[in-house]
């Protein structure tokens, strides 16, 4: 996977859990078919939206195998790694490298202590040396943020690092990153500002909002690519309206609620994350209705 091999709306899948906390494999496979039917361009297993922080190594491998079995090459499949040490990240990367996935989405160590710039470069360098799989830097940890100039150093240093998924909400920083590494190496994850991200001609997005409303997100990306500003602005307004009711501490549970409201078996969040309350479900339902009306 080079910088131009993965483009468009890449959806971070949710991980459906049963009441006892085990993975609902059937629901997971059905979600993948739904996403492909909605026209998405790729899938990510075990990201933040997929509660990857709550998955053990074996579960990440099982989910990746399931995704590969269901997709049968129709869209690329990536797997996310969220680990607190280089040793742990390397172990996961080696296990996943045995699968024919398209790449790894790797967050920097996310415990409370942030690595130095050199520590971040060393982290991605050691993981990159352990596996031939292409790597997307998952820039989501606010206290261990990979600044644009550091991302550029990592890309220059580690041959397998091909792109950055930028979740920092600062559009100025986002634009700086695009200038530093090139738009073809950037995926947007600023869910409430994806149109602005797409306007910078980036490769695409890997954003939670797409798990909640895949068809509208695909349509927004296509509208920007086609120069249809009226269509893009209309869709962007509807997606921002929905995002207001998803952006909270229990985001994965809220995305699952949105999926359930659209007839998808999305399961429970894994404890201790709480289910979404009835008042919030009503707000999400209304926002989905307004979006669908567009």
Q: Looking at residue 204, which CATH number applies to its domain?
A: 3.20.20.70
- Residue 75 in any domain: the answer is yes
Q: Tell me the pLDDT tens digit for each residue of 68-83.
A: 999 999 999 999 999 9
Q: What is the pLDDT of residue 294?
A: 86
Count of domains forming the chain: 1
List, in sequence order, every residue forming a beta bridge with 81; answer none if it has no partner: 106
Residue percentage of the chain with pLDDT more than 90: 93
Q: Counting every residue, how long is the chain?
A: 294
- For residue 74, the tally of other CB atoms under 10 A from its CB is 12
- Residue 275 in any domain: the answer is no
Q: What is the pLDDT of residue 116?
A: 94
- Residue 135 in any domain: the answer is yes
CA pair distance 189, 150, nearest whole angstrom: 19
Which candidate, 42, 55, 39, 66, places its Cα nearest to that of 88? 55
The parent domain of residue 47 ranges over 8-228
- Residue 183 in any domain: the answer is yes
CA pair distance 12, 106, nearest whole angstrom: 13
pTM of the model: 0.95
Q: Are 45 and 13 in contact (CB under 8 A)?
A: yes
- Residue 82 in any domain: the answer is yes
Question: Which 3 state secondary structure label does DSSP give 207?
Answer: coil
Q: Tell me the pLDDT tens digit for each residue of 213-245.
A: 999 999 999 999 999 999 999 999 999 999 999
Question: Which 3 state secondary structure label does DSSP give 11?
Answer: strand
- Residue 213 in any domain: the answer is yes
Q: Higher model confidence: residue 116 or residue 4?
A: 116
List, in sequence order, every residue forming a beta bridge with 43; answer none if it has no partner: 11, 77
- Residue 256 in any domain: the answer is no
Q: Are 126 and 157 in contact (CB under 8 A)?
A: no
Q: What is the pLDDT of residue 1?
A: 42
- Residue 41 in any domain: the answer is yes
Q: Token digits for 248?
A: 């909270």
Q: Tell me the pLDDT tens digit for each residue of 125-175.
A: 999 999 999 999 999 988 889 999 999 999 999 999 999 999 988 899 999
């Amino acid at each position: 996977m080079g910088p131009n091999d993965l483009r468009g709306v890449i959806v971070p899948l949710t991980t459906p859990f049963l009441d006892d906390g085990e993975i609902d494999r059937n629901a997971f496979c059905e979600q993948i078919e739904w996403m492909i039917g909605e026209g998405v361009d790729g899938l990510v297993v075990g990201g933040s939206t997929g509660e990857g922080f709550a998955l053990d190594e074996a579960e990440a491998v099982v989910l990746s195998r399931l995704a590969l079995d269901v997709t049968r090459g129709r869209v690329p499949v990536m797997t996310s790694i969220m680990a607190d040490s280089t040793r742990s990240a390397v172990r996961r990367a080696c296990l996943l490298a045995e699968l024919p996935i398209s790449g790894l989405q790797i967050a920097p160590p996310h415990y409370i202590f942030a690595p130095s710039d050199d520590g971040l470069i060393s982290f991605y360098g050691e993981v990159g040396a352990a596996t031939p799989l292409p790597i997307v830097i998952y820039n989501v940890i606010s206290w261990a943020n990979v600044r644009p100039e550091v991302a550029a150093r990592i890309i220059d240093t580690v041959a397998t690092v091909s792109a950055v998924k930028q979740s920092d909400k600062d559009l100025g920083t986002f634009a700086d990153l695009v200038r530093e590494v090139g738009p073809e190496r950037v995926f947007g994850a600023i869910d409430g500002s994806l149109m602005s991200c797409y306007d910078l001609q980036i490769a695409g997005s890997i954003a939670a909002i797409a798990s909640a409303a895949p068809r509208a997100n695909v349509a927004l990306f296509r509208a920007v690519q086609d120069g249809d500003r009226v269509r893009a602005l209309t869709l962007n307004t509807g997606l921002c309206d929905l995002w207001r009711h998803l952006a909270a501490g229990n985001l994965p549970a809220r995305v699952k609620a949105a999926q359930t409201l659209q007839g998808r078996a999305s399961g429970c969040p894994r404890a201790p994350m709480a289910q979404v309350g009835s008042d919030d479900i009503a707000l999400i339902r209304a926002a989905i209705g307004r979006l669908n009306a567009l």
